Amino acid sequence: MNNNSSFQIVSVLLFGAAALVSGLSYAQGCTHASGRTAPDSRYVDNGDGTVRDLQVDLVWQKCSVGQSGDDCSKGAARSFKWDEAIQQGQLVNDSGGFAGHSDWRVPKLKELRSLVEVGCWSPSINITLFPNTPDADYWTSSSYTGFTNNAWYISFINGKSQYNHSKVKYFVRLVRTAE
């Protein structure tokens, strides 16, 4: 390997690390479509900023908190400490609701995990139905038993669930139970 090749590899690695830190997003990577856990056919776009998951009977806000528009390209996803994240559903509900409903909440760990597309990464979610989702971490409403001040989150970089201190800031996507 010559010095130029080494420089290019280091540059790519550094740029990739900087992109992760800054929240920049690259094109989503996916394996063959037949291995998908969250195909388009699993969802119904309700045309009102919500998406119904037919498999688990939940209705999700299409955009992350802070984003809006048909393709979630308006605004920017906002990050919150865990206690602030938990309040986001109530804030939406108290301000008149969203899409005709006032029962929005932060999803439980099992619920948010259901959105993970294991056949894709960066982000590991169906971006046809949930466009412009940052490849980042999202809070759940589930606290981590046994560790005070810790809660679960899902990384939509790789689809893994983990826990962290509640003072760390992560993104939020709201959900409600379908009727």
Residues 147-174 pLDDT 10s: 889 999 999 999 999 999 999 999 999 9
Q: What is the mean pLDDT of residues 43-69?
A: 97
Domains and CATH numbers, the chain: 36-177 (3.10.100.10)
Task: Assign 26 a pLDDT band (cuts: 50, 70, 90).
Answer: low
Counting Cα atoms < 13 Å in the Cβ hemisphere of 173 gives 32
Burial readout 13-47 (b: 16 or more C-beta within 10 A, e: otherwise): eeeeeeeeeeeebeebebeeeeebbbeeebbeeee
d(C-alpha 166, C-alpha 158), whole Å = 21
Residue with structure tokens 């108290």?
Answer: 94
Residue with structure tokens 């291995």?
Answer: 35
Contacts of 163 (CB under 8 A, 6+ apart): 144, 147, 150, 151, 152, 153
Q: pTM of the entire structure?
A: 0.83
Tell me what pLDDT residue 34 has: 60
Mean pLDDT of the chain: 87
